[in-house]
Structure 1
């Protein structure tokens, strides 16, 4: 007959062990209490210093199970071997690049842009920032359907929408559609250009200025015809290949996208 240990029975279920992860420089973790996400800069006085995508630092205590890594609780511990400070690298958007980045689990919040070209340009310049923040960019396929799409999406705390609109100027069709939106969990920004192409500095693609296209002519087709770029898809490939960083874009677009990223990745929106 087997003997039993009543101590094992009375002790109850064992607690799940929280893994320990060395706090090596560049490791991206999240503070679950505040939602702050950043890369490890250094360990000092029993605390860890994290740096977000804006280059700002915050200090957190090294508490057991105090952080999330890839969405799971971990205990950060000092690395066994001292790490050399890596050279700071700048991403295409101008933010500090997080070394050894593993994309954060995607948020419920989203950024919508009007079309495929908009999405590709945003990814080209802000892709690193979006992966750090866990933000997905999706094409809207036209601002005319914006109100219906917002209703279908169902916004709320922790489920925000940022929308980038082309040709957002006073008196335009786009501005009237945007003015009708009344939702604190939706932020719409835009730029004054007819198309996202025009938000790229002309000199970047080797021209003095974007051509003036007569009203009634499809803008992209008119531009390609005026510049001898062939079909619009060929023109877009030329433009996208020429863009290397935010410096190649006009200021209104840069500001509009930065505001959207900040809005949908604000830790306060998940509280």
Structure 2
């Protein structure tokens, strides 16, 4: 007998997600997964602790590695999975693989003897000199191989004019990294206006990190802190940080020297917070997209 009303929608597990419930999968070497949010696909090459959380690094078919927080939000063959820490034996294999593979400071595979590529028309813009120096220290080798130039803006107050002057188009994409991009801030309003520009629709990507200044993207442990101190409003943030460190902090020359000391504590991507790592790698992928060259 045919049921003219169909089956009872509440008769089964109606609360189950459309793709099914997530299952746990150890983050073992060469396990291929997809990040459900970004669509990025890569093989597990290592798992490390960074900024107080475990980060799994996935290497795509071009040899680029990108870090993601270990946990839920991944897919294998379209089914949801939660990546968990590898078993001790598999962790040892990951460590051995990392030791054998030559890596750049960003964690990508090193290419011995590679020459810098002729610069692309696409660019990455960052807010200031310190941002540019940090990006260069960690991602410089990758950027030279890809032919990507990083320029600094000295602020983003006139971001719409910057985009207009650049004239983005296919083969000339623009990626922009903004400091302190959190809801309700002046930066968020500026970025919202810039993203609405017709010329920014397809060939401009604006991303940001939550930190007051790019200094904060350095893991506080590198400076002997468990977390970055809070500087009272009305006081210069950078001068306040230097004072907390017990370093000279009265002049701009003191600020410049202080930043050099902080930058000197950064050896690889592992010394940076994941919130910055992901955003810079996203920009590099955007401006080097082979389909847009």
Partner of 2:64: 54
Partner of 2:237: 219
Partner of 1:143: 156
The alignment of Structure 1 onto Structure 2 pairs a total of residues equal to 189
User: Which structure 2 residues correspond to residues 173-212 of structure 1 after superposition, within 5 A?
Assistant: 173-180=186-193, 181-182=195-196, 183=200, 184-212=202-230
Q: Structure 2: how far apart are the matches of 1:108 and 1:169?
A: 30
Residues 132-181 of structure 1 show CA distances to partners (whole Å, capped at 9, x for unaligned) of 11000000110102111111111111101000000000111111111112
Residues 19-51 of structure 1 show CA distances to partners (whole Å, capped at 9, x for unaligned) of xxxxxxxxxxxxxxxxxxxxxxxxxxxxxxxx7
Partner of 1:106: 119
Q: In the alignment, which of 129, 135, 143 is matched to residue 130 of structure 1?
A: 143
After TM superposition, the score normalised by the length of structure 2 is: 0.63
Partner of 1:14: none
SS at 2:150 equivalent: strand
Structure 2 unmatched runs, 5+: 1-60, 66-99, 249-253
Q: In the alignment, which of 257, 262, 282 is matched to residue 234 of structure 1?
A: 257
Residues 58-115 of structure 1 show CA distances to partners (whole Å, capped at 9, x for unaligned) of xxxxxxxxxxxxxxxxxxxxxxxxxxxxx63111001001111100000010000000
Partner of 2:132: 119
Q: Structure 2: how far apart are the matches of 1:133 and 1:189?
A: 20
Q: In the alignment, which of 226, 240, 247 is matched to residue 270 of structure 2?
A: 247
Structure 1 unmatched runs, 5+: 1-50, 56-86
Partner of 1:16: none
- Name the larger-Rg structure: 1
After TM superposition, the score normalised by the length of structure 1 is: 0.68
Q: Structure 2: how far apart are the matches of 1:89 and 1:205?
A: 27
CA RMSD in angstroms, aligned pairs only: 1.3
Partner of 2:290: 267
Partner of 2:167: 154
**How far does residue 207 in structure 1 lie from its aligned partner after superposition?**
2.3
Q: 4+ residue stretches of structure 1 with deviation over 4 A? A: none
